Every structure is written in structure tokens, then in C-alpha cells.
Amino acid sequence: MQDFLQQTLSGEAPRIQRGDTPFLRWQWLDHGILQLEPKSEPQQALVLSAGIHGNETAPVEMMNAQVGALLRGEKPLRQRVLAILGNPAALRAGKRYLRHDVNRLFGGRWQQIDDCDEARRALRLEQAVETFWLQSCRKDQPRWHLDLHTAIRGSWHTRFGVLPLNAQPWPEDFIDWLTAAGLEALVFHTAPGGTFTHFSCAHFSAASCTLELGKALPFGANDLTQFAAAQQALAALLSGEPLPQAQSAPRRYRVAQQITRLSEQFRLHMDAETRNFTAFPQGALLAEDGETRYVVQQAREYVLFPNPAVAPGLRAGLMLVREDAQTDVPPQ
């Protein structure tokens, strides 16, 4: 098939919808959904997604380059792969989303909004993932889901990962991969959510992570050299080769509290330039919404994803605490 990204942006089904290379068989399943099966025995099953938010283009370009090399037969494949460009309509428009944030609709939450393209897309992605993992997949075969994003704001950690609530210990080789991918920080959720990675983890026991790689920029404006380690680690994962040497272990954070916009009265007491992982001291007023006040409760908390423009009922920010050091030092 032609370039996976360009095919998806065209909105047209490819003329040829399946084929093979010396290393793999591929099948186009739907717009932005491509399945790759190695001709050798697969080591694991991997869902690789990007473009859930249509303005987050760096991971889309990075993933497309990897898929393109596989489709051209330039590299071997050792994993079963479901490659997903999550929100084609938003990608074409260059917008985060058109009506609803798809990454808040998983786990059946799409049923709570009006019937629209984004609700139907969340359902389609849930179905594709379920079919992929349950289809001829050995029970002992590891399941991983890497969902590639960029952050809206700048960040004191340029590359970081957000892991969903998980009742089970995280596999060591999964954490090792995230470390080799050059992530500077890992954030561990303490409550369920409507994200794609939480859906994979909660419903299919997949080791899953939302990777935040840089800041949202238009197609062609990304400096992909910032993510060289992630690209190398992803290439090694796909081909079953040894991982690149990690430079350092990522810092670890745990979600301490969530800031939720409850109404139109919501006010976030942070300016537009406040970076992710900015530290706030105990007692600092973070936001107000009518009678509700959000205040720093721990000795020091770090903000993540502050966004006062979300719809009422949605998350307007997370506050984190450090887990990996006795001396809590701001990352900046």
C-alpha cells in the first residue's frame, strides 16, 4: 500500500488492502487501522497508536516512518502489530479534536455523549483492539500498548510516560523499554480513566503507557531528533533486537489529586506559560470553581496537563508527588 499516513489522510480505502513482504503479511482493516503479522513466530502482541489527538503530529510522523520501513521490507518484524492512527478527521483538520476528546471516551464512555464521529471512532478502536488481542493470540503472549502523544504545553521533562491504574505489578521488561526509550519521567495513575491505555490495561491486562513526546506542533515542524532514543527503542522492539543503552532511569511520580472543571465558574490559577511538572508548595491555591477550592495538600506537588479550556466535568489538571527520592527537588 502507499504511505500509511497519506492513505489515512486521504479518507479513501486503498485499492489493494492486503499484501506481504519477505518478513510480514499486512492487512488494511479500516481508516487508520493496519494489522501486521510476522512470518516468523511472534514474540508478543503490540498495539501501537498515535494521532488520538489530531494536532499531535510528531509521534504520527515517527510511527509512520517505522511502519513504512516495515511495509517496504526494509526491516524484519518479530511482533504482531496493530498500528492505529486514532482520529483521522482531527488529523486532517490539524485540531486536537472536532467535538469531543476521543481520549476521554474509552471504556464505553462514548455511550455517554451524543452519536457523532468521535463516539463511533472510540467504539471502532475498542473493537479493533479486542479483536486483535483475542484473535489467534497465545494466552502467555505478552500484550503491550504504546499510545504516542505530545503535550499541549511545554514541560520540564520533554519526554515522559503516563501509566494507567494497574492492580498488577508492571512487567520489568516493559519499564526497561520505557527507560530505553529515553523517557525522563514516569507518572503512575491512582484512579481509572477514559483513556485508550486505561482501556487496554483494565480490559485486556495489557502493559500500556501514554508516551508524551515533546510539544504539539503542525506536520513538518517537528524536530524528531529530540526523540531519537524513542525511535531506536521502537525499532528494536519491532524487530526483536536488543534495546539501546539507557542514559538514566526516569523519575517517578504518582498522581496525588485531580483538578476537575465542574462549571463555567472554573478558574485555574496558573498562567498559559506554566510548564508541566512545575512545582507548587503546600497550601498554594491551584484553582477555584464556585465553592470548590483546589489546594496543594502535600509538602510539594507538581502540575501535569493544566488546561482550563476543557468541558465541564473533565480533568483540568493533575497534581503529582515524587515517589523515587527522599529529597524532593524540583525538576527544573
pLDDT at 283: 96
What pLDDT is stored for residue 306 in this prediction?
Answer: 93
Name the fold adopted by 4-239. Answer: Aminopeptidase (3.40.630)
- The domains of the chain are located at 4-239, 254-322
Binding region for Zn(2+): 53, 56, 149
pLDDT in tens, 211-228: 998 776 666 667 777 788
3-state secondary structure the chain: CCCHHHHHHHCCCCCCCEEECCCEEEEEEECCEEEEEECCCCCCEEEEEECCCCCCHHHHHHHHHHHHHHHCCCCCCCCEEEEEECCHHHHHHCCCCCCCCHHHCCCCHHHHCCCCHHHHHHHHHHHHHHHHHHCCCCCCCCEEEEEEEEECCCECCCEEEEECCCCCCCCHHHHHHHHHCCCCEEEECCCCCCCHHHHHHHHHCCEEEEEEEEECCCCCCCCHHHHHHHHHHHHHHHHCCCCCCCCCCCEEEEEEEEEECCCCCCEECCCCCCCECCEEECCCEEEEECCEEEECCCCEEEEECCCCCCCCCCEEEEEEEECCCCCCCCCC
Please say if 212 is a catalytic residue: yes
- What percent of the chain lies above the pLDDT cut of 70? 94
Per the residue annotation, which of 118, 126, 184, 212 is the catalytic one? Answer: 212
Domain 4-239 and domain 254-322, same fold? Reply is: no
CATH number of the domain located at residue range(s) 254-322 in this protein: 2.40.50.630
Q: pLDDT tens, position by position, for the chain (332 residues)?
A: 679 999 999 999 999 999 999 999 999 999 999 999 999 989 899 999 999 999 988 899 899 999 999 999 998 999 999 999 999 999 999 999 999 999 999 998 999 888 999 999 999 999 999 999 888 556 678 999 999 998 777 889 989 999 999 989 999 999 999 999 999 999 999 999 899 999 999 999 999 999 998 776 666 667 777 788 899 999 999 999 988 888 789 999 999 999 999 999 999 999 988 999 999 999 999 999 999 999 999 999 999 999 998 889 889 999 999 997 544 444 44
